[in-house]
Structure 1
């Protein structure tokens, strides 16, 4: 269109080619990307005053070739820098980013070179020196004479690349490695500062995804120091870095909901105004300096007001202080999944374990046999997919394959495969730190990445011989030994005390729209029908949600579930309000949501994986008249939930896939459960997959019976699961393990 409307010599046509080439790169279509960017490079030569655009195209060509042709990438980056210098040497965030890209590429080229060395060969200092020159230049070109920083993200990544260089080249020198660890901690601090300067979840998630390698390098440096010195301080530093990588956006959103700071909002608005001006004059150094000063003003305010609702690096306690906050019946487990290894940290009141393991770790191999010199890809590109077919159990199974294998075997009820993967995951994730779990009764789990998709209580500690029949009720599950609670961040858990609902004064609100009468309350309105269009969502997502094309499927057991639970609370002298059918409307829920300690939904829910803010909980479907009166459409969206004022100690989502959502790197799944935590709920019970209406009703009754007898939420849910396991008819993990407790 641009070519037809404007012609090939118009700047907007070339900009269109440039953006299209970048899009092809992001879509992993390198041939189309290269063809489009080369075409942009051809036509940019014909334009006047196009130095900046030419530099950007050359930088994009460098990024495209970064993994496949490092020498070619280096050449493109160097040409881009020549173009930037034609405009004005010195301060220039875009030139700084290209220097950083060049430094990363030199280091990756160095790694590739040493991988291919013959015995007794060595590499000279030229390549590392070139990397050093470029990351130092990157830092210099975003720092003003007054010490203000134009772009904290670039500074953070440059310091991390400097630490990476130390890890690769000087990994035997503990003095240099200590300095590298200090650089990593500085980099994390800079990253947090940059997060404070931007608005919107999407922008923050994108930043964390681009710069997540900073945390991995920090972990590698800290664990390398621990392995070389055996000083526990470095293992503890690794644990803290792991925790700093988690729930960053969730934590700041929760704080903002509790107490928005108008001074922060005003200063961020000033930053946005200068950024808008820079869109039209990206090479205006005076504007860049003005922006740096506005950011500095915000930083100064945040330093003086540490309680502000922002991303902040809090001063975590020393290990001994942390351990005093853990009761003697619990252990805390935190995980971090890197590109070639994963990390497991286990902490109890009297023990601390930290291990680094290769992704294909198998019990019986050396715990710390991790090659820090391989797979150090820091370009931020996505990794290959995973597979689910059964693998010879004598081979090392990659961690991601075990996770997918467990999920598929549960969904398809394949007993033998389930045993293989459940035991392998036990060996990978629990056995390496089991000394810290001895004599404990409850595990607090902070997963990472794909680990959010699986319930750890399904792991089995004892393998079954291949010639023996698998009996689900006879397996040695972790659920037999521990109750479980999952969290986005262990350290965030320290900020809120464990307050299980009090048996003496607990109020219950239960909602079940039931959808049993096709004539009313089940028909999806035209305003929300697009959510269930298979053009945008897979049919699989909705096969149990929709009875036909226009109505929600009936949930006959949900009315029994809610009514019996309400009666149970009343029998204990507790306040209970049960809302069925038309009573379970969106408007009624929003009116009552802040008045109850426990809120329980027994209904349909659905994840929207493309736009998780549109994930929703189905309530009574209003007719046109009701919609006009209440202005509610009968769907409680994930985006709406954080705006509610919840005082709930517990929210129970007895509905399908309420804990499912796209897993945001470093921040966990963007799910309905997350939205309730963001809104202020202390704990949420939610589902990892589609759950059975009748079995859910049985387990929920047992759960609330245990809860009203004085058990904690985790103990009550764990005991309910154990009862299901002991019954042959309900011992299948697909039935009892899908509901998990999140905090």
Structure 2
């Protein structure tokens, strides 16, 4: 949550003036700093850093240099694949009934509570995220024939493992996400005939074969690092890197469903117009910050770019 991640008095502490002349900042976070989006820091005039700077994050200095020197990615890949709005209540879905109250945040805290008390196989705590269908559909329109989407009953772990995300430049997954010290995963559809449990684990992500310039995990806490182990980025981000993602957009806390949908569609519109990923994400954050209902950093700050901007 925003309030638990923000140190007391943070809003009154200006950032170091040495970066004023450098509009692009790459952060190599350590320990608890990996849970802080530096865009919310203030300059000497009381303005958020995002208003004047483009901020991205690196997993290490070595990887940052490798990314900067990397050769151009191969041509011939699909432009965009989006996967989201999974089915969490199959019976209601098949009967055409409402699938519970729509969730306003993309997190699995209720499910985790059930899991800890022996409810591991129950999916009753997972609520539908209808804004993710609108989000992915709107983004896919930007890419026209170069886009493919896997929504609702097609947003399965089986499809992911069968190569749905392979040979694709931009991969977008919008679902519930969860974070625990020993368990990081994305919650997908589990059909009655499923051969998988519907939870795409960190270890399973690492075994995928990707060739993506960018993977966006439009879910809760997908970028949250392990503070005790002083990891610079989350296990999910590391798994994506292992699988073949050159950059990742991940989140640091539980995200609002509607605000995230607005941010993502704005981000991809900028990408389609030729903006680099770092600049596009910065523009999207500024866009939300300029909207009355979403101007608080809780709404626009959680998503960060990991990798060469």
Q: TM-score, normalised by structure 1?
A: 0.36
Q: CA deviation at 1:499?
A: 7.5
Whether the 8 Å contact between 2:166 and 2:211 is mirrored in structure 1 is yes
For 1:737 and 1:633, the matched residues in 2 are separated by 32
Q: Helix, strand or coil: the match of 2:81? A: strand
How big is the shift at 1:632? 1.4
Determine which structure has the larger strand proportion and give its number.
Answer: 2
Confirm or deny that 1:534 pairs with 2:113: yes
Paired with 1:450 and 1:561, the residues of 2 have a C-alpha distance of 31
Aligned partner of 2:207 among 631, 643, 650: 643
Q: Which has the larger Rg?
A: 1
**What corresponds to 2:83 in structure 1?**
511
Structure 1: segments with no counterpart, 5+ residues: 1-403, 411-416, 464-474, 524-530, 539-547
SS in 1 for 2:245: coil
Count of aligned pairs: 289
Give the whole-Å Cα distance in 2 for the aligned partners of 1:720 and 1:502.
Answer: 27
Q: 2:134 aligns with which of 560, 564, 571?
A: 560
Asked if residue 658 in structure 1 is aligned to residue 227 in structure 2, the reply is no
SS state at 2:153 partner = helix
Q: How does 1:536-685 map to 2 (within 5 A)?
A: 537=116, 550-570=124-144, 575-591=146-162, 592-609=164-181, 611=182, 614-623=183-192, 626-627=193-194, 631-663=195-227, 665=229, 667-685=231-249
Superimposed CA distance per residue, residues 280-336 of structure 1 (whole angstroms, 9 cap, x where no aligned partner): xxxxxxxxxxxxxxxxxxxxxxxxxxxxxxxxxxxxxxxxxxxxxxxxxxxxxxxxx
2:274 maps to 1:710: yes
Offset at residue 533 of structure 1 (A): 5.5
Partner residue of 1:423 out of 2, 7, 12: 12
Contact 2:218 2:251 (C-alpha < 8 Å) held by counterparts: yes
Of 28, 37, 41, which aligns to 1:455? 37
- Is the partner of 1:668 in helix, strand or coil? coil
> For structure 2, which runs of at least 5 residues remain unmatched after alignment?
94-98, 101-109
2:75 and 2:263 map into 1 onto residues whose CA distance is: 19
Counterpart of 1:478 in structure 2 is: 49
Contact 2:35 2:252 in 1 (8 A): yes
Tell me if structure 2 keeps the 8 A contact 1:603–1:618: yes
SS of residue paired to 1:488: coil
Distance 1:654 1:568, change over 3 A: same
The structure-2 alpha-carbon separation of the partners of 1:692 and 1:680, relative to structure 1 and needing over 3 Å to count, comes to same
Distance 1:707 1:569 in 2: 10
Quick one: distance in 1 between partners of 2:271 and 2:84?
A: 21
SS of 1:640's equivalent in the other structure is: helix
Q: CA deviation at 1:450?
A: 0.5
Q: What is the match of residue 408 of structure 1?
A: 4
Greater relative contact order, per chain length (Cα 8 Å cut-off, separation 6+): 2
1:492 aligned onto 2:63: yes
Point out the more displaced range, 551-560 or 657-666: 657-666
Assess if the C-alpha contact under 8 Å between 1:500 and 1:712 holds in 2. Answer: no
- Deviation string 1:107-137 (CA, Å, 9 cap, x unpaired) is xxxxxxxxxxxxxxxxxxxxxxxxxxxxxxx
Name the SS for the 1:724 alignment partner.
Answer: helix
1:441 to 2:10 alignment: no
| Partners of 1:537 and 1:608 within 8 A in 2 | no
Would the alpha carbon gap of residues 500 and 598 (structure 1) be closer, same or farther in structure 2, given more than 3 Å must change? farther
* 1:408/1:597 CA distance change after superposition, 3 Å: same
Q: Is the 8 A contact 1:558 1:603 kept in 2?
A: yes
Cα shift readout 1:350-398 (whole Å, capped 9, x = no counterpart): xxxxxxxxxxxxxxxxxxxxxxxxxxxxxxxxxxxxxxxxxxxxxxxxx
Per-residue CA shift, 1:654-679, capped at 9, x if unaligned? Answer: 10111124236454344322211222
- Matches of 1:711 and 1:504 in 2, distance apart? 20
Show the counterpart of 1:107: none
What is the DSSP-based 3-state SS (H/G/I as helix, E as strand, rest coil) of the residue aligned with 2:27? strand
Aligned-partner SS, 2:55? strand
* Contact 1:423 1:462 survives alignment (8 Å): no
SS of the aligned residue for 1:734 comes to helix
Q: Please list every run of at least 4 consecutive aligned residues from structure 1 whose deviation after the TM superposition is greater than 4 angstroms.
A: 498-506, 520-523, 535-538
Q: Is the 8 A contact 2:174 2:219 kept in 1?
A: yes
Distance 1:584 1:515 in 2: 8
